[in-house]
Chain A
Amino acid sequence: MEPIIEVKNLGKKYNIRSGRGGYVALRDVLTNIIKSPFVFAKTKAKNAIGLNKKDEFWALKNVSFEVQRGEVMGIIGGNGAGKSTLLKILTGITLPTEGEAILRGHVSSLLEVGTGFHPELTGRENIFLNGAILGMKKADIEKRFDSIVEFAGIERFLDTPVKQYSSGMYVRLAFSVAAHIEPDILLVDEVLAVGDAEFQKKCLGKMNEVTKTEGRTILFVSHNMAAIQSLCKRSVLIEKGQVVMVGNTSDVIDRYLSSSLKHEAITEFADRPNLPATINTVTLLNHAGDPRSEFSISEPLSIQVEFTCKKKLTDTTLSLIIYSHDRDILLYSSEADTLETLSEYEPGHYLSTISIPPFLLNVGRYSFDIILHTPNIFLAAEARDMGFEIKNIDNPRSIIFQGNHPGRIALPLVYKTKQQ
């Protein structure tokens, strides 16, 4: 059977100078033409024949892959690898510079939750508006209206303006509208980063269900490896705008983690405008307070998290999740565990230090995520896929047993032995 999505040598070039942020003013263009007409003509001509290479940036280059009907395909890659650009081209939001893509079916996309929601309009009105923007016909929306409302669980607030909704309700409603679009091909970007865990599961479940029963094809971009692993059989790995690997999701994740796991002492993260807080930097420190990414098994290590709250956050906590190299969760720890309460953060900068005692983790490589969230996983900020290594240095066991013990936890237990 023909693949439902065929991407052939797709490339996207941005001109850095006239790209995002630096808006062109007509006034400047006109003064340039008048002041130095020859220079202007020369740059124009150079641009036209492609000589002006220094301002070019290829967000995507030679990207090719195919997706079969009914397949859920993951797209994996670091920040700025070109995943979102790829989705924007496939939806038609922006055009490629070269190559082509063939999509055999009705396409709908979900690049952001609640696109076009208007705060002044009621839940009912926004369902219609948002549904229409996402490409649904009025008759379709009417037909699915009850099921959208029920799925979101907002029956009582249908006629309340959404500006009065809690962020959880807002996200649930937006998700619910999106979950009821029924295209042949659905393109989903990092939208599952927000919303509570239970509802996410419900949404994924619904998407999964229609994929199986109605043969829907989904292209799924996420930083959340666990979500990709559970949804997608096959995945594409994109690095620096190029396809590095297409294959089984677990192989692709392995490759991604091994090549891009930030085994660095200090990792910086860019602001994500749609989240209410930002984790700016995560620093790993050894017992002497020096930044390191490798530690002896017998030394305590600490993780320093610098974050900024853009809005006031209530009922929120900072959590650390440590994974083994094969992505099993080894530890899920929250500040609320020891505080025995949730925290409130006023807008501003914060510095948290998480201490990990020696001998907790056995020798090996670990990855970890830091998230700022509410107990039902409404994400306020996230920093994912960082890593460190525990080395077999100063290991008393190693001296006694001439080698390292197997296992992942190395916590020495207390043995009391008496001769009787």
Chain B
Amino acid sequence: MAETNTTIIQPKKTLSLSDARELWRYRELIYFFSWKDIKVRYKQTFIGGLWAIFQPFITMIVFTVFFGRLAGIPSDNVPYPIFVYVGLLFWQFFSSALSDTSNTLVSNQAIITKVYFPRLILPLSAVVTKFLDFIIAAVILAGMMIYYGYVPSIEGILILPILLIITFFASTGLGLFLAAINVKYRDVRYALPFFIQILLFVTPVIYPASIAGKFSWLLALNPMTGVIQTARAGLLHTTPINWTLLGLSSFACVVMLIIGIIYFKIVERYFADII
């Protein structure tokens, strides 16, 4: 009976199927860490959950005023507020998940050096936490769609979960990489907010991808391009759904995820020693 629980500890730990099994065994911990994050946030901040609505909403208003009205950035013939809000909804999921995962190991250093559990749990639960924010912020989108009179296509509704999965894995992949590098090099964390800010401008959040003209394929390497484009197509009928673009984005996202996991696993061996 105990044989099934045998652990063999050896110097080189390589990526294996047992990692996945272990992760599955600890799945409840993902839930507990996310639950803790949410609880603590609600207890610590005055506005608590409202923050999840506030942040994209205010950003939307500011962007609409400056980019939509003053700069006159095109929005694929859709009212700019709803155009930018669809982009922001996914973008904020991606960027806040990314910045939280990147810091998750360093901020949980006390636990990492005292208890063992698959380290992947920490970044994963940080992304899971962001799901809740996404859902809350999506309520506003629903309101805006009613206000502006947009009815999503069936395709558009069905494709949403796929878009969420791509966003989830893209932020996890890049987040794992950044989290690991953040443990190894302590100055990385100061560069991160800047890096994420730059990412916003190479993602078609405030402008349509069509603005890039013949270089728009370059934008497609960024998985969020496909996600946001497709979301707009499905929900606001800006363009027909571009399956090639979506395929490219999924591919880029899978590549990022693989690189992220591999690098994370390599650095994971000595997390506790250097953190």
Residues of A within 8 A of B (CB): 4, 14, 18-20, 23-27, 29, 88-107, 109, 111-112, 115-116, 118, 120-121, 125, 128-129, 132-135, 137-138, 161, 184
Binding site for A on B (CB under 8 A): 2-3, 5-13, 26, 28-29, 31-32, 35-36, 39-40, 43-44, 110-117, 181, 184-188, 269-270, 272-274
Instruction: Select one of B40, B115, B187, B272 contacting A26, CB under 8 A.
Output: B187
- Distance between A147 CB and nearest chain B CB, rounded to angstroms: 20
Min distance, Cβ B165 to any Cβ of chain A, angstroms: 25
Nearest Cβ in chain A — how far from B117, in angstroms?
7
Set of chain A residues within 8 Å of B44, measured between Cβ atoms: 120
* Chain B residues with CB below 8 A from A137, complex form: 28
Q: Which of B115, B186, B273 contacts A115 (CB 8 A)?
A: B115
B10/A116 in contact, CB under 8 A: no
A93 touching B113, Cβ below 8 Å: yes
A-B contact pairs, 26 of them (CB 8 A): A4-B2, A14-B273, A19-B273, A23-B185, A26-B184, A92-B116, A95-B11, A95-B13, A95-B269, A98-B11, A100-B8, A100-B10, A101-B9, A103-B7, A104-B2, A105-B6, A107-B7, A109-B116, A115-B111, A121-B36, A125-B36, A129-B36, A132-B29, A133-B32, A135-B26, A161-B43
Cβ–Cβ < 8 Å partners of A106 in chain B: 2, 5
Q: Which residue of B lies closest to A136 (CB)?
A: B28
A102 vs B8: C-alpha distance in the bound complex, in angstroms? 5
B5:A184 contact, CB within 8 angstroms: yes
Contact between chains at A102 and B6 (CB < 8 Å): yes
Residues of the A chain whose Cβ atoms lie less than 8 Å from the Cβ of B273: 14, 19-20, 94
Find out whether the CB atom of A132 lies under 8 angstroms from the CB atom of B185.
Answer: no
Q: Would A19 and B115 count as touching, CB distance under 8 A?
A: no
Contact indicator B2/A184 (Cβ below 8 Å): yes
On whether the beta carbons of A96 and B11 are closer than 8 Å, the reply is yes
Q: Quick one: closest B residue to A23, CB to CB?
A: B186
Query: Are the CB atoms of B9 and A90 closer together than 8 Å?
Result: yes
> Are the C-beta atoms of B115 and A111 separated by less than 8 Å?
yes
Taking the nearest CB of chain B, how far is it from the CB of A385, in angstroms?
Answer: 25
User: For residue A134, which residues in chain B have a CB less than 8 angstroms away from its CB?
Assistant: 115
User: Cα distance A223–B192 when bound, in Å?
Assistant: 43
Instruction: Give Cα A93–Cα B255 distance, bound, in whole angstroms.
Output: 28
Residue of chain A at shortest CB distance from B182: A26
Find out whether the CB atom of B10 lies under 8 angstroms from the CB atom of A93. Answer: no
In the complex, which residues of chain A have a beta carbon less than 8 angstroms from the beta carbon of B117?
133, 135
Q: Which B residues are in CB contact (< 8 Å) with A92?
A: 7, 9, 116
Smallest Cβ distance from B40 to chain A, in angstroms?
A: 5
Contacts of B11 in A (CB 8 A): 95-100
Judge whether B9 and A89 touch: CB under 8 Å. Answer: yes
Chain A CB within 10 Å, residue with most, of B3, B29, B116, B186: B116
CA distance A18 to B185 in the complex (A): 11
Residue in chain A with minimal CB distance to B41: A120
Contact of A27 among B6, B43, B116, B187 (CB under 8 A): B187
Selected contact of B184 from candidates A24, A90, A112, A135, CB within 8 Å: A24
B26 to chain A, nearest CB (A): 8
On chain B, the residues within 8 Å of A125 by CB distance are 36, 39
Known contacts: A102-B8, A111-B114. The answer to whether A133 contacts B270 by CB under 8 A is no
CB < 8 Å neighbour of B9 from A103, A105, A129: A103
Known A26-B185, A132-B29; judge A115-B110 contact (CB<8 A).
Answer: yes
Q: Which of B8, B13, B111 contacts A116 (CB 8 A)?
A: B111
Known A-B contacts A120-B40, A132-B32; the reply to A105 vs B270 at CB < 8 A is no
Q: State whether A118 and B6 are in contact (beta carbons under 8 Å apart), knowing that A19-B273, A26-B187, A111-B115 are contacts in the complex.
A: no
